[in-house]
Amino acid sequence: MTGSLSIFLPDGDSPNTDSLNTLAATITSTASANLDVSVVVPTFREVENLTTLTEQLFAALHERSLTGELIVVDDNSCDGTIELCQRLAETYPIRLVVRTEERGLATAVIRGFSEASGTYVVVMDADLSHPPTAVPTLLETLQTNQADFVIGSRYVKGGTIDESWSIFRRINSRVAGFLATGLTSAKDPMAGFFAIRRSQLGDVTRLNPCGYKIGLETIVRCECKSVAEVPIHFEDRQFGESKLNLKEQWLYVRHLLRLYAFRYPEACRFMTFGAVGLSGMIVDLVTFSSLTPSLGLSAARAAAIWVAMTWNFELNRRVTFKTSAKSSIAAAYVRFCTACLTGAALSWGTFVGLTSLSESFRNQPVATAVVGTFAAAIVNYVLCRSWVFVTGKPQQLEAAPVAVTPDILTLDKEERPAQPPTRIAA
Ligand SMILES: Nc1nc2c(ncn2[C@@H]2O[C@H](COP(=O)(O)OP(=O)(O)OP(=O)(O)O)[C@@H](O)[C@H]2O)c(=O)[nH]1
Ligand SMILES: [Mg+2]
């Protein structure tokens, strides 16, 4: 179970001072191909935890005759992680990637995915919150349950959490999980301990997280249909500091919105269209009340409707249907006004039709008007989508995926070592 560890300089560089500008920060082992599992561990200042994690992990794999590698993706912790990995690699197949230009748990895991070579990939924290002894069970569940994704779960029967976990953390975790219920039925979708087939990951550049919930991101974007959960005991960290902060919570909300837009693109687009419509109503009322004193009621009404319609057109063009194929703005504007008039006629026709049909509609004129408005909104949306703004696929509303950083990374100037570690072989 030994591996050799090397730090590489980029091709063509000699170990002089200039070449330090591009000091390679990828440490690789010569672990054999055809591994059962690559275990990806993102780290930031976890040097106190790495030895125990490595020992327990490889003992667990060895016990079940599984072959594996540990891929540590460190964001230049400068806490002795590099040196420790060098020492550990004398005994264990470890690869270390040190990123110097990027920070973040989720992108670190994606980097680990791109380095993985095992049939299966497991992701876990370095802080010993996730029991390494559970890794073989996750892999067995992946095989025997025909699952696409297996979570080491705190919230299925048998799962437990360290008693020292504060009430705030508990509520936070539960609420965050609840908010994701439209994306997965898993009980612990927030977990950072999971296993997946490498083939299921596919092209990892399509992963596009904006927070630290890489497990949820992977379930949604890699379209994992069946998600299984294995109970674990979640231990609170003994050493090192937590990286969970308020900014991460805010990023999680943004991340959720992105994932919902990815999973339900049409519904999200319709809701955006509705929000634009509501903003148009406000513009309409404000314009109407400000123009009435100078223009009089009739002219002010006509001007307000026109201003609101133009407002809606611009917002829909820029936001709701921003992926439209490029067409003349003037032509699209004329089509939009036609669609609005069609919607208005339908709204009026529905109101008149329903109230003349039945006494109960006549008794509820406001509710009947709402029915007409809703019907008009749907027709208006369909016209906008298929005619006014000829759209691309809704998924294209997504931002560009996170780029996977190259193997050879640049260290910040002040962090360059005095002598280049040209090649350290253990
Ligand atoms: N590479 C990298 N790893 C990170 C970063 N932030 C956190 N990690 C690692 O991701 C894992 C989970 O981070 P934690 O700080 O334990 O987050 P948490 O589990 O929500 O919080 P606590 O367990 O309470 O500390 C750990 O292995 C961290 O070292 C980062 O910016 N870059
Ligand atoms: Mg932790």
Which CATH number does the domain housing residue 143 bear? 3.90.550.10
- Both 100 and 25 in one domain: the answer is yes
Residue 191 in domain: yes
Residue with CA at minimum distance from ligand 1 atom 4: 105
Whether 135 has a pLDDT exceeding 70, the answer reads: yes
Task: For the chain, give percent helix, strand, coil, nearest 5.
Answer: 50, 10, 40
Question: How far is the centre of ligand 1, averaged over its atoms, from the C-alpha of 49 (Å)?
Answer: 12
Residues paired with residue 174 on neighbouring β-strands, in sequence order = none
Residue with CA at minimum distance from ligand 1 atom 5: 105
Output the six-digit token pair for 283: 């513009």
Question: How far is the centre of ligand 2, averaged over its atoms, from the C-alpha of 240 (Å)?
Answer: 9
Give the domain range for residue 269.
265-388
Q: Which atom of ligand 1 is least distant from the CA of 241?
A: 25
Site to substitute for ligand 1 among 52, 71, 105, 167, most atoms within 8 A of C-beta: 105
* pLDDT band for position 326 (cuts 50, 70, 90): low
Q: 103 CB under 6 A from ligand 1?
A: yes
Crossing angle for the helix pair 214-221 and 105-115, nearest 10 degrees?
50
Q: What single-letter amino acid sits at 266?
A: E
Q: Tell me if 145 sits within 8 A of 226, measured CB to CB.
A: yes
* pLDDT band for position 145 (cuts 50, 70, 90): confident
Q: Is the dihedral of CA 74, 55, 231, 149 positive or negative?
A: positive
Digit-coded pLDDT (tens) for 225-234: 999 999 999 9
What pLDDT score does 244 carry? 65
- Both 113 and 218 in one domain: the answer is yes
- Both 187 and 287 in one domain: the answer is no
In the chain, pLDDT over 70 holds for what percent of residues? Answer: 82
Q: Tell me if 99 sits within 8 A of 74, measured CB to CB.
A: yes
Whether 414 has a pLDDT exceeding 60, the answer reads: no
Ligand (nearest to CA of 214): 1
Q: Tell me if 91 sits within 8 A of 2, measured CB to CB.
A: yes
How many domains does the chain fold into?
2
* pLDDT band for position 238 (cuts 50, 70, 90): confident
- Both 310 and 251 in one domain: the answer is no
Give the range among 213-222, 338-347, 387-396 with minimum mean pLDDT. Answer: 387-396
Mean pLDDT, all residues of the chain:
83
Residue 394 in domain: no
Neighbour-count burial of 419, counting CB atoms closer than 10 A to its CB (0-12 exposed, 13-18 middle, 19+ buried): exposed
Q: 248 CB under 6 A from ligand 1?
A: no
Residue 397 in domain: no
Region of 65 on the Ramachandran plot (φ > 0 left; ψ -120 to 50 alpha; else beta): left
**Distance between CA 225 and CA 385 in Å, rounded?**
29
Q: 110 CB under 6 A from ligand 1?
A: no
Most confident of 28-37, 370-379, 413-422: 370-379
Q: Which atom of ligand 1 is least distant from the CA of 126?
A: 27
Q: Tell me if 129 sits within 8 A of 56, measured CB to CB.
A: no
Place of tokens 């590099």: 82
Residue 306 in domain: yes
**Distance between CA 420 and CA 168 in Å, rounded?**
46
Region 319-339 average pLDDT: 86
- Both 220 and 351 in one domain: the answer is no
Q: 105 CB under 6 A from ligand 1?
A: yes
Ligand (nearest to CA of 243): 1
- Both 235 and 276 in one domain: the answer is no
What pLDDT score does 212 carry? 83
Give the range among 28-37, 207-216, 325-334 with minimum mean pLDDT. Answer: 28-37
- Both 8 and 126 in one domain: the answer is yes
Q: 272 CB under 6 A from ligand 1?
A: no
* pLDDT band for position 152 (cuts 50, 70, 90): very high
Digit-coded pLDDT (tens) for 176-195: 999 999 999 999 999 999 99
Q: 94 CB under 6 A from ligand 1?
A: no
- Residue 333 sits at the vertex; the CA angle it makes with 329 and 338, to the nearest 5 degrees, is 150
Count, residues in the chain: 426
Q: Tell me if 102 sits within 8 A of 212, measured CB to CB.
A: no
In the chain, pLDDT over 90 holds for what percent of residues? Answer: 64
Backbone dihedral angles phi then psi of residue 387, each to the nearest 5 degrees:
-135, -55
Residue with CA at minimum distance from ligand 1 atom 11: 125
The residue that leads in pLDDT, 282 or 419, is 282
Whether 16 has a pLDDT exceeding 50, the answer reads: no
DSSP per-residue string spanning 31-90: --SS-SEEEEEEESS-HHHHHHHHHHHHHHHHHTT--EEEEEEE----SSHHHHHHHHTT
Residues paired with residue 200 on neighbouring β-strands, in sequence order = none
pTM for this entry = 0.74
Q: 284 CB under 6 A from ligand 1?
A: no
What pLDDT score does 113 carry? 96
Give the range among 66-80, 191-205, 320-334 with minimum mean pLDDT. Answer: 320-334
What pLDDT score does 231 carry? 97
Question: How far is the centre of ligand 1, averaged over its atoms, from the C-alpha of 236 (Å)?
Answer: 12
Digit-coded pLDDT (tens) for 276-315: 999 999 999 999 999 999 999 889 989 999 999 999 999 9
Q: Specify the DSSP element, H or E, that contains 234.
A: strand 233-234
CA distances from 126 to 234, 254, 360 (A): 13, 26, 65
Q: Which atom of ligand 1 is least distant from the CA of 127?
A: 27
Question: How far is the centre of ligand 2, averaged over its atoms, from the C-alpha of 124 (Å)?
Answer: 9
